[in-house]
Structure 1
Amino acid sequence: MPLSLNEIRARALAFVQEYRDAASERADAQSFWRDFFHVFGINARRVGAFERPVANLLTGSGRGRIDYLWKGVVLVEHKSRGEDLDTAAAQARDYFPGLRDGELPRFIIVSDFARLRLYDLESGAEREFPLRQLPQRLGLFGFLSGYTTRRYGTLNPVDREAAERLGELHDLLEDDGFTGRDLDIWMVRTLFCLFADCANIFERGIFRDLIEQRTAADGSDLGAWLTRLHRVLATPEGRRQQSLDEGLRAFPYVNGRLFDDPVEQPETDARMRAALLDCCRVDWSRVSPAIFGSLFQSIKDRAERRRGGEHYTTEANILKCLDPLFLDGLREALAAAGREARKLDAFLLRLRRVRVFDPACGCGNFLVVAYRELRRLELEALRLRYGGEEAGQLVGVVLSSVNVDQMFGIEVEGAMAETG
């Protein structure tokens, strides 16, 4: 099982601090790479070899030694601080004719301690960055961490499937004459229930069970059952009637006023019931709540769904905006703080002073992602300040002060605002 991303990030921070002043290839290169692989939970000696002998056929210089080779995965060439990385990369490629087909790596990494450069020989991509940025560049090393990075601009197939299925239910209701704000609120509530049913907000599967087991096959009472459910979700457990249906009593109270306002009850039929059950077959726990707003907009827009979500605002695209705007700077500040209590305290204070404003926020997608990333940075800083993984989580609960009151947005469309 791969390490958690939080643990990898913490190890990367420590690694950067350990080698920020290293300069000599002879003195420090092997320990540098042992510790680099340790960041990702990998024992370098078990998976590969240092100073791997190889025939250097291109240069005619006889046999050479690869600084580090993990067969089929990665080749490393290291230089002393300030030396030319282009020369290191050329030297790494010169070793290839001396390797068997099964030994040829997909990746090359070259470094002079101060910089790391990664070549992906399959895609042709090349990335270089200073060592201090390693904690922010971990996504480049998904082949080591076990975590793959979704490319900017792509749509998770699960997200697309979810939008298509819930969109079918939306279209059936709309075509039947159930429209406007009532339809919007009804779909937002349905979206929440589907996610809650898979993400352990509800007892897993009870929403689907309610639809399958309690509603009529012809769907005629589906609207009535869901209306009752909405009232139950808006009522704290202690204020519910004693005679409440046992199946409904199992649902928890949901705060936040999502279910508070009464809306018109739709007339429903077998097609709508079947469409909702199709929605229940999607694993909604794999759909990020951060993109619920974009998902809801896609559900409402038939033309958008036919385009396959080409204008869909993915979470990756949100981060593409937020990272250079302010998150990368905060991550660099955390890396610079290391494990020094005074610097970490100053960083935590800086996080608490951040204010994020979106003047056309829609459903709040950007604000949700910004808040989540600030909380992740805060939790990481608290763990570094007060102890290990378990201690950091406990302290994160007790001392966390980054909160939603730091997020501000304006939205003129009522349905979008209520979704947020």
Structure 2
Amino acid sequence: MSHPQGCYQHEAGHRAQGSCLDGVHGARWRRGRRWRDAAIIAICALCVHVLGCSKLLTTKPAPGERFDAPLDGLDNGELGDFQAGHTQFRKAFTIAEGLGPIFNNVSCASCHSGDGRGRVDVSARMPPPVFGVGLIEALSDSVILSHEDPGDSNGDGISGRANMVTPAPYVPATEPGGGTGPRVGRFGRKASVSSLLQQTVEAYHQDIGMTSSYRPIENVNPLASHVVPGLDPAADPELANGEIEAVMQYMRMLAPPTPGEWTAQRRRGETLFASAQCASCHVPTMRTGAHEIDALANRDVTLYSDLLLHDLGDALADNRPDGSADGHEWRTAPLWGLRIAREFLNGQLFLLHDGRARSVDAAVRLHGGEAAGAVNAYLAMPPQDQAALVDFVGSR
């Protein structure tokens, strides 16, 4: 029997280090099994009694410290829907259940890390977070459009515009972002999707290879003769509508993390953020209207984004159009959740659409195009002001 490396396990199953028994080894462990086992029990019991588990056992993070907490104000029925969707969101599919034949991962939770011929457009993308999407969905088109300035009428060099998209035919007008006419895109790195239903259905279909009544045909390349519809053993459709709706409701009710505490430096950073025109695109707050879920109704949404498309220059261009967005345009990335993102990414940040920036400072410096003025203002700041701005952004 090897000597123990700790007294507990994290929920994820990883053995924790640095517990009360670390360093107890050598001759002490050769004095007999009975003495050793009794000592382990006694020491662990003493640690629990004296420390009250605060140093010994892991504790569940507070709701604002997590990416998977429900919104405040949900009733018991809504919380039940949230938990059911939480389970479905983490369900890992197998081939027998319909996984593939083409897929990126096995579950929703696994990602959320010559002669006139065309060319394949490839664009590296980090999976976007799903917390707070219900609040984004609850913003009316008119609220988002109120921040548009496609012709730069105020002469500030910033000309954000909405990505007006046509919802998928299966999205009814009764669904937010649905119907037949052009709607304001708000989901995706280029705001190419207007409906949370469509975002959910397409993620299942494109990323996991799961068919549904909305998308009943397998996602296959017709030029790949060895990959044909029906290759997996599961009958189509492979997902029930209720499973999709459960995940959609779960994401709809996910709360964004709370921002960090205000400090004098962060207050100064907020002022510098505004004076450098960062807030012209990273709009601090927008407000929702009426909603059938009370927790989403008439809420200030502090996502720090206008959800509009902006030309961010050559350095960030992927040269791949998406809807009406061209290869230089990106939806303004919301800043909420940055405060705890590092904790959930093994101590590192992966910022921008492709994760190339490992710090807020690096992300700012890579901006160009419409953001060039803001970047120049940032670069002209003394180091202490840059640090204050970075601290503010990192605390959201």
**TM-score normalized by structure 2?**
0.23
Higher-Rg member (1/2): 1
More helix, by proportion: 1
Q: Which has the higher contact order (CA 8 A, sep 6+)?
A: 2
**TM-score normalized by structure 1?**
0.22
